[in-house]
Structure 1
Amino acid sequence: MCRCGSPVEAETHAALLARGVATGAQLSKDVPRLRTQVNPAPDKSYSRPTNITTWVLVALGCEGRIVRGRPNGSWTSSQYSWVPVESWLPGGVAALSVEQARAELVGKWLHAFGPAPVSDIKWWTGWTLGEVRATLAGLDVIEVDLDGAVGVLLAEDTEPVAAPEPWAALLPALDPTPMGWQSRGWYLGPHGPVLFDRNGNIGPTIWCDGRIVGGWVQRKDGEIVYRLVEDVGSEYVAMIEREVAKIAEWFGDVRVIPRFRTPLERELTT
């Protein structure tokens, strides 16, 4: 585990240790250099100078030195408190070599998303193909056929799985299920252009029996509306309607304001 970092990271970590728990705003008062501003894309019209506070805190989190705590206010808030990692793990995060960390990560990914092509692992991790193949060589995996393409699967995950009862579910934007694969045709079909934005972010989706069949949105008055992109039949429509009612009740008076809108979301909110 890397414990190195910039002087401002060291100052921020020390300030958080002194406070025990703090927000980014509180830490920026203790460490004035956190208010340093940078313009990440000065040649772009949308770029604006921004403080480095969040970047430093995220870097410290990635190094295993601090942990993001609960949001301030309601669960929809994007403002969080931060605590030293020792508050959660007295001994800190166990040190791992790069090879051990990669093996652990890919093993967990395959457990959740396998089988999948090697190219999907490369896409999801951002590693080189050589790094992915070297990691897979240290895992107990087998090759399987994915409708004519080669995929990899954990050797321990080869037992047949009983087919579930028919089901429907509403998943939120950026849910890890639809974001887990690069090769999405088998569950997404041709519906990507209306359900993803131009940056590859997926909006709220409707699933039936392991495939995406539509999208949904919460309007300003709290109403949950949806549109199906496939004909699923009356039985599934009834299940979807029940899920819509449940999620509307779950939201209650809470209103979620998305940071991005997909084409289908824009359509449903106009």
Structure 2
Amino acid sequence: MPGSETSGYALSAIQEQAGRWSYDRQRLGHRSPDVEAALRAVVGVYSSHPSAPLSLRARAKGFTTEAFRRLDADRRALRLPAMRGSIHLLPRETAHLAFRAAPEPPSGLRQRLKYFGIAEDRYPELREAALAAADEPSTARDLGQKLREATGYDGSPTPVLSGMAREGVLLRVGAEGPRSNALRYVATQTWLGDDLPAADADKALAWLAGEYLRAFGPARPEDFRWWAGVSKGRAAAALETVETIELEDGHLLPYQDLQAFEAAEGPGPDAVDVLPKWDCYTMGYAPDGRERFVHPDVRGRVYTPAGDGLGVVLVGGTAVGAWEARFSGKVMEARLDMFERPGARLKRILDGRFGEIAVLLGAREIRFA
């Protein structure tokens, strides 16, 4: 992962080795045996489609839309608010810990209700009616109709359903297609046969800190704080519970990983990976901690001003371009922003990779802008 000679910037030794190590720990290059193993390897992926399926596709061997769909259908993964308050697709056995690590403060619900013009004292009535109605996976529209019939409430069901999801009493269930975000809602007790397990927030965050360093380390406390979306104090306290060794520039690594980290070889120089918008790897570090895979000179072409990752093309583990796509009927229109003109070999590979993505997302044709 060389630095840029024109800018005079060069990666530090820790950043170079972190790039090699992280590529493997993120299971890029289809290094996970299946979609569920890929999900466990990275703690969780952003729930939004097509980001979730494309993130797992970049990591799992033999990815199929059916295997992805079964994560939801078989209750092997749950969609819950987690890191940074964003909805994530999480392995069922640990989903409650990611969820409990940073609970929404009561003010969040109050502000949401106020914004939508719902009296705070009416929420319990609406909550009870929505729970009774969500005895099977239902769309927000269907639940809104049932709320009207049960309570006379004719406003948007969104603040009620969102508040219940952030309480953990309502779950989102994924849409059938990898491109659709038409999520359904179902009562947690109905879907799982019980409530989400309880967990102390600080103990859950300590668990999350260990998982973060396993999947994203070596990383600085600021990187973990940004990724988890918690205060500096809570982040520091959680990291203190993990047995780590401090490398250069405050980067922490689980102590037991040191020998393997030093020996990591990383991807070959010709390895090509296409990651989607909001991929867990690109969203895993604070804005000034992303040098292991993106050069500072082009960071603004890979991220929005708010810090959200765009789609990215990696070659040898390093960002060489960004991408976005939109659909017009059955045509996927892809806009590639390559930082340098690709050679003939890379162009052929990218044509093939994006063609596969287009087919996965239900397109019959792909056009490059």
Give the equivalent residue in structure 1 for 2:127.
Answer: 9
- Mapped partners of 1:236, 1:205: distance in 2: 14
* CA shift in 2, pair 1:114/1:88, >3 Å: farther
Give the equivalent residue in structure 2 for 1:196.
Answer: 303
Question: Once superposed, what is the RMSD of the aligned Cα atoms?
Answer: 3.0
Is 1:174 the counterpart of 2:278? The answer is: yes
- Mapped partners of 1:105, 1:179: distance in 2: 16
Is 1:20 the counterpart of 2:136? The answer is: yes
Displacement of 1:113 in angstroms is: 1.1
Give the equivalent residue in structure 2 for 1:120.
Answer: 223
- Mapped partners of 2:152, 2:284: distance in 1: 34
- Mapped partners of 1:187, 1:93: distance in 2: 36
1:83 to 172, 186, 193: 186
Which letter maps to 1:22? S
Which letter maps to 1:30? K
Which letter maps to 1:23? T
- Mapped partners of 2:177, 2:183: distance in 1: 11
Give the equivalent residue in structure 1 for 2:195.
Answer: 92
Give the equivalent residue in structure 1 for 2:257.
Answer: 157
* CA shift in 2, pair 1:100/1:84, >3 Å: same
- Mapped partners of 1:102, 1:242: distance in 2: 41
* CA shift in 2, pair 1:107/1:10, >3 Å: farther
- Mapped partners of 1:88, 1:156: distance in 2: 38
Displacement of 1:67 in angstroms is: 1.4
1:66 to 170, 173, 187: 170
Q: Give the total of aligned pairs.
A: 237
Unmatched 5+ residue regions in structure 1? Answer: 38-50, 257-267
Displacement of 1:35 in angstroms is: 5.5
Is 1:187 the counterpart of 2:296? The answer is: no
Q: Could you list the runs of 4 or more consecutive aligned residues of structure 1 that deviate by over 6 angstroms after TM superposition?
A: none
Displacement of 1:117 in angstroms is: 0.9
Unmatched 5+ residue regions in structure 2? Answer: 1-99, 110-122
Q: Any idea what the Cα deviations from partners look like across 1:200-259, whole Å, max 9, x if unmatched?
A: 222221111222110234364325452321466555444334323332343342799xxx
Say if 1:103 and 1:135, in contact at 8 Å, map to a contact too.
yes
Displacement of 1:118 in angstroms is: 0.6
Give the equivalent residue in structure 1 for 2:3.
Answer: none
Q: 1:22 aligns to what SS in structure 2?
A: coil
- Mapped partners of 1:34, 1:106: distance in 2: 45
Displacement of 1:120 in angstroms is: 1.0
* CA shift in 2, pair 1:181/1:34, >3 Å: farther
* CA shift in 2, pair 1:249/1:12, >3 Å: closer
Say if 2:227 and 2:284, in contact at 8 Å, map to a contact too.
yes
Is 1:207 the counterpart of 2:314? The answer is: yes
Give the equivalent residue in structure 2 for 1:263.
Answer: none
Say if 1:168 and 1:243, in contact at 8 Å, map to a contact too.
no
- Mapped partners of 1:162, 1:35: distance in 2: 60
- Mapped partners of 2:211, 2:345: distance in 1: 35
Map 1:101-112 → 2, pairs under 5 A? 101-112=204-215
Displacement of 1:178 in angstroms is: 0.7
Give the equivalent residue in structure 2 for 1:139.
Answer: 242
Q: Which has the higher contact order (CA 8 A, sep 6+)?
A: 2
Q: 2:132 aligns to what SS in structure 1?
A: helix
Point out the more displaced range, 93-102 or 79-88: 79-88
Point out the more displaced range, 160-169 or 132-141: 160-169
- Mapped partners of 1:210, 1:201: distance in 2: 19
* CA shift in 2, pair 1:90/1:142, >3 Å: farther
Say if 1:169 and 1:240, in contact at 8 Å, map to a contact too.
no
Displacement of 1:77 in angstroms is: 2.5
- Mapped partners of 2:163, 2:333: distance in 1: 38
Say if 1:9 and 1:60, in contact at 8 Å, map to a contact too.
yes
- Mapped partners of 2:190, 2:165: distance in 1: 13
